[in-house]
């Protein structure tokens, strides 16, 4: 049974930081490209950051220089360090694992508000 369990969401003021974690089980983690997506009500889910099995990384333009994606293959975990958070970063953040099949986590709410 595949599980992706996100944690680390919450409420933070503009300019603050949060670190999201996604712990994977039931997959051979090292084979998977891991990504973080986000979604706000009424809009399509958006790719935020992606890290391949080989460590190649890409970000959506709106988070470049502020967010850092990383993975720890020994812990089967992918992280998203979010710095200099803006109100427009408010969304539900989802972890995604993609290899031959695609899996999603349940999502974690991030709210940036003063």
Confidence band of 44 (pLDDT split at 50, 70, 90): very high
Percent of residues, the chain, with pLDDT higher than 70? 100
pLDDT digits (tens, 9 = 90+) for 60-97: 999 999 999 999 999 999 999 999 999 999 999 999 99
Q: For residue 82, what pLDDT is reported?
A: 98
With contact defined as beta carbons under 8 Å apart, do 38 and 46 qualify? yes
Q: For residue 62, what pLDDT is reported?
A: 97
With contact defined as beta carbons under 8 Å apart, do 50 and 57 qualify? yes
* Mean pLDDT, rounded, for 26-55: 97
């Amino acid at each position: 049974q595949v599980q992706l369990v996100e944690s680390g969401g919450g409420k933070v003021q503009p300019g603050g930081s949060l670190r999201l974690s996604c712990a994977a089980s039931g997959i051979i983690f090292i084979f998977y490209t891991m990504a973080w997506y986000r979604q706000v009500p009424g809009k399509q889910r958006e790719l935020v950051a992606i890290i391949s099995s080989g460590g190649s990384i890409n970000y959506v333009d709106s988070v470049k220089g502020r967010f850092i994606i990383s993975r720890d293959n020994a812990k089967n975990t992918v992280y998203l360090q979010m710095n200099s958070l803006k109100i427009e970063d408010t969304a539900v953040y989802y972890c995604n694992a993609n290899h031959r099949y695609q899996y999603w986590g349940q999502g974690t709410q991030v709210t940036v508000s003063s």
